[in-house]
Amino acid sequence: MADSNKPVPQTSEAATALERQLAGLDAVRSAHAWHPMFLAWKDGTAEVFQRFLPESALRATFLNIQFALAPPSASSYAETESRAVFAKACAIADACLKSALAQAQHSGSDAIPGR
């Protein structure tokens, strides 16, 4: 008979951290690559990948995402191009996080082996 006083973990610590970063991405999509909120999210996501997926191709992909071409400028063309680059980079980050989350939920462990 199971001990009903013991909590049953729904997801691993890794999955919880990845879910938090995925939700955070939705919050920063409307920002830009130099916004303090985005920079904090990016740093936090890099830390999650380092902690749970240090040898993963997903970590390498995330770390190599180019979220911006150059610092913001006054040119409306450059701003439009920069928004497009940022949106595409966010889509790649979203895919990395979703893949890592699927791995975490499938493995159920806090340390996910590299891919």
Whether residue 1 is contained in a domain is answered as no
Whether residue 5 is contained in a domain is answered as no
Whether residue 101 is contained in a domain is answered as yes
Tokens at 107, concatenated: 């493995």
pLDDT of residue 81: 81
Q: Whole domain around residue 17: which residue ranges?
A: 13-107
**pTM beyond 0.85:** no
| Tens-digit pLDDT profile for residues 19-53 | 999 999 999 999 889 899 999 999 999 999 999 99
Whether residue 26 is contained in a domain is answered as yes
Whether residue 3 is contained in a domain is answered as no
Report the number of distinct structural domains present in the chain: 1
Tokens at 11, concatenated: 């997801």
CB atoms within 10 A of CB 109: 14
Tokens at 66, concatenated: 């180019």
